[in-house]
Structure 1
Amino acid sequence: MTTTGDSGAAARTGPWWWERRRSAVLDVGLGVVSAAECGAEGVEFARDAGLPLAVGVVFGVLAGATLVLRRRWPIAVVLIAVAITPAQMGVLMTIVGLYTLAASELPRRIIGALAGMSLVGTLIVTMVRANQDIASGDLRIGEGVIPFIAISTSLGVTAPPLLLGLYVGARRRLMESLRERADSLERELQLLAERAEERAEWARNEERTRIARDMHDVVAHRVSLMVVHAAALQAVARKDPEKAVKNAALVGDMGRQALTELREMLGVLRAGEAPPKPAPAPVPLAAVAAAAAQAASRAGGEEAAEAVEGPCLAELDELVDQSRAAGMVVDMSVEGESRSYAADVEETAYRVVQEALTNVFKHAAGAKAYVRLAHRSAEIAMQVENGPPPETAPADARLPSGGNGLVGMKERVTALGGVFVSGPTDAGGFRVSAVLPAGAAGA
């Protein structure tokens, strides 16, 4: 009974109830020695009892051979040892049986009861045998010494194997407990590593989504203005050369701005790249979990740091001026006292207005747009509304759409705990509204 549970069943390599082959060899060897001992002692037992020698030998061999079953039925082995004690047999069987019983996982009360029976049986047999030897003249000692001899003999046969078995059993249970705790800790570390990897993957996906939104905002807005200016340039190239030159300069400026912003974004991506390294050596699972958690936190920290470099509310006037320069009629009003907000809040507010104006370029060319910005005590609200496009709007002024503008705006706003609403108006236009908490910060 060296192991228990599923681990013991998994480690079983021996025959029958033995968990290892060497355990089976040891028990069979002990059984043979015990059978030989009890068989030899059976000769004297047969003489004293007046039985044929063959009967005493066979009885001793069968009784001693039961020691082979000590791991399977330790209680039965101890009971047999106690039963043959009056016949002065089974000293080895008693010692090994008590050790196996004490080292097993049986309740302490059962172990104590059987050990007490063996102690009492050995004590009685020793005293009776000593008195018989004194009466027959084989032993010449005082009668007062007999109890001391009996107690010493019984304790010498019973106490050492019992105490050793209790110690080995306690140590074995301690080792099993430590092994189970180590397995449990390994499973927990593996689970933590998997969760940390999931968090790192989630952070990477969030970073990809953020970069995709930023690139969409930059490309869609700048390129939309460039297309509008190019269409105007084509219309006035022959009629008004000066205006054509002005529009061409605006297209160039917007193209350079778009390229600058795209280079900044690509620079952020390339800055996080590291040179290739050789395959790392295997590391403990705890180090894997710690590294994965650190990677997830670092990815979140880089995302928050990069968000600070985005546009702010102070650039809204320039954004509106660019839209007006493209020929769009924009009416902007600001309510409340202007103040600074968290970088994520200002960037989100700017991107919402930018994308809403871009949608006006795409889907309602020539329509008038109204931009409203309200600074409140605990929040900032923005609204971009346009009227219906004029019927005379040129068809080539309408730009293709990927359908991601409104989705990106809603993701930005809800990520900061804000509210986003968009939809058509009764007048035939379209309205985009968003409210952001003043103290919000990116998750």
Structure 2
Amino acid sequence: MPRVLVVGGGYAGFYAARHLEKGLRRGEAEVVVVDPRPYMTYQPFLPEVMAGSVEARHAAVSLRRHLRRTTVLAGSVTAIDHASRSVTVHPVEGDDYPLGYDVIVVTAGAVTRTLPIPGVAEQAIGLKHVEEAVAIRDRLLVAFDRASGLPPGPERRRLLTVTFVGGGFTGVEGFGELLSLATALLERYPELSADDLGFHLVEGSGRILPEVSAGPGAWVVRSLEERGASVHLNTFLQSAEDGHVVLSDGTELDSELLVWTAGNGANPVVARHTDLPVDDRGRVVVRADLRVGTTAEPVADAWAAGDAAAVPDLAVGTPGASTVPNAQHAVRQGRLLARNIIAALQGRAPRQYVHHSVGAVATLGLGRGVFESGPVVLKGFPAWVVHRGYHALAVPTWERKILVLAVWLVALVFGRDIVSLQSVQRPRDAFVHGGVPDAHR
């Protein structure tokens, strides 16, 4: 059987493998997925995971459970040599090894873009994976516990100061949800007040949420500021050493929590360790039918989709435009990619990818949101309802849809869970310091 190798189990990779399973006849091809994580992260839920509105495991979709006819390898592809139809796999355990294939599907996604700013590498947490969302939530809850035992002053203020860098969808949604959680926590901590909170959103351009038009974007800024947040536009982070944040607008503050959401960068495997054609941004060059290459020079047996691919955007009608890196495109590209591979294996012509955006929707905290689709703009509670409805339908598998809806309903009646599990990051502390005889400590 020919082997179809899928590099990356994110949105595009998961949906490509899933639809290959559904569309391939038994014995027609072997599908292999290589990814270091055993699950696909449903990233739109990460802000709600961070705020405690969605259980962390419900934002993760098991690859092995839902790709039952696919071989899932735990590891990372570190190099692609398409000329020899081989990749190098760095497994979770053991030595690197070569893995051959007949058809390759590059869906490696993007990585968090970082900059050499003093203190960022040591202090910041990203918001691209479930583990990061859980860590941010736990850090805030622990900070509230610590601050509640302190008198008013600089140390209390530092503990309850949060800084987000990046005003795109991830940053704004995460910022709004964490602000909503912090405001709700004040009801449980009578020792603290809203004056103790310091929430700062830093964006280098003159507006946030570039995916929506200027009017709704400006409304989001006003809404956040009315809730006590500070939005710093046309501002850059200059330093964050030891938690002391210095901004280009002259603002200086001490921040217990620094969250970095300043965009995505090219996946280094795709950008530097492959003989497939890549563009100046480190993305695989693909045609509109998701085959690697150009119309004049297609690359045989190579396909790509998602954030790692420069997919032509035929819907906008602008020559040279490529689709934006978001979940809407990655999911639909993954599905079409699977259908096109099956068509190629069966001697049929592949279809071109054309998708007109259904709009943009963002959560800004419990009961708050913004939605825009063409001339239709919703703000506040109606937009929040649209956000929850859309993502309840969009999250893959009925199991996850039901689990997420159940958690939402429970939270609606009883409120958010405010227990921190930060101690799970150090599971041996209780044993080492409490359960071991003195002679062995």
TM-score, normalised relative to structure 2: 0.19
Kindly name which structure, 1 or 2, has the bigger radius of gyration based on alpha carbons.
1
The structure that is strand-richer by fraction is 2
TM-score, normalised relative to structure 1: 0.19
